[in-house]
Amino acid sequence: MSQTILIATGNPGKLREYSEIFGVLGVTFVMPADVGLAGFEPDEPYETFVENARHKALAYAARANMPVVADDSGLCIDALEGRPGVYSARYAGPGASDDDRTQKVLAELADVADDQRGAQFVCVSAAALPDGTVESAEGIVRGLIARAPGRRITGFGYDPIFVPEGYVVPFSEMPAAEKHAISHRGRAAVALLPALKRLLEDYRPD
């Protein structure tokens, strides 16, 4: 029987990206809603991506009693000393939209020169088993914060203001597959793949 991995996200775009990269494992992927955990939101209490990602993966694995992949990600802006970083989702306060958050970044960088607008998206993906085993890997993509948002055609979050290195359009104007090929999440998932494979080989459901 094929093994099942819980991809701990409510975002179908993230699920698609992970299932493409982990497709080589020949396993079945489910989301929290598929296993009765739609409302389960573990906290993200730490100040590093790696601690939050591992904490989230372990919390889901214990709760769902199956192998889990979870991640923590965010945008780290050089001129803001790495902010919003692990606070990217909460940057403009509760109830704020993606557009509110991008506008807040643009306002904070209004006086920052073009050659000082470097930034990176960071993602740590973590794989955990119900027995408390956990592995993680990091992916980074560098780029520049644009002066104005691009069109929101694909993607989510800060994509309209992030132009990856070597490109002239923001993530939000790139075909999804092109973004995934160079994205922080894509890179973290590829880096996690060997450890995830080992975890699944060793996993014995009780």
> Following DSSP, what letter does each residue of the chain receive, concatenated?
---EEEE--S-HHHHHHHHHHHGGG--EEE-GGGGT-TT-------SSHHHHHHHHHHHHHHHHTS-EEEEEEEEEEGGGTT-BGGGGGGTT-TT--HHHHHHHHHHHTTT--GGG-EEEEEEEEEEE-TTS-EEEEEEEEEEEE-SS----SS--TTGGGEEETT-SS-GGGS-HHHHHHHSHHHHHHHHHHHHHHHHHHH----
Among 155, 164, 170, 186, binds ligand IMP (CB under 6 A): 155
By CB under 6 A, residue 87 contacts ligand IMP: no
Nearer Cβ to ligand IMP (135/159): 159
By CB under 6 A, residue 72 contacts ligand IMP: yes
Query: Among 34, 43, 71, 72, which one carries the catalytic annotation?
Result: 72
Nearer Cβ to ligand IMP (88/136): 88
Nearer Cβ to ligand IMP (75/128): 75
Among 18, 22, 60, 121, binds ligand IMP (CB under 6 A): 121
Least gap, CB of 72 to ligand IMP (angstroms): 5
By CB under 6 A, residue 136 contacts ligand IMP: no
Least gap, CB of 28 to ligand IMP (angstroms): 23
Nearer Cβ to ligand IMP (64/124): 124
By CB under 6 A, residue 158 contacts ligand IMP: yes
Q: What are the distances in angstroms from CA 172 to CA 98, 100, 118, 153, 160? A: 12, 16, 18, 6, 5
Residue 206 falls in the annotated catalytic set: no
Residues with a known catalytic role: 72
**Interface with ligand IMP (CB under 6 A):** 71-75, 88-89, 121, 155-159, 171, 183
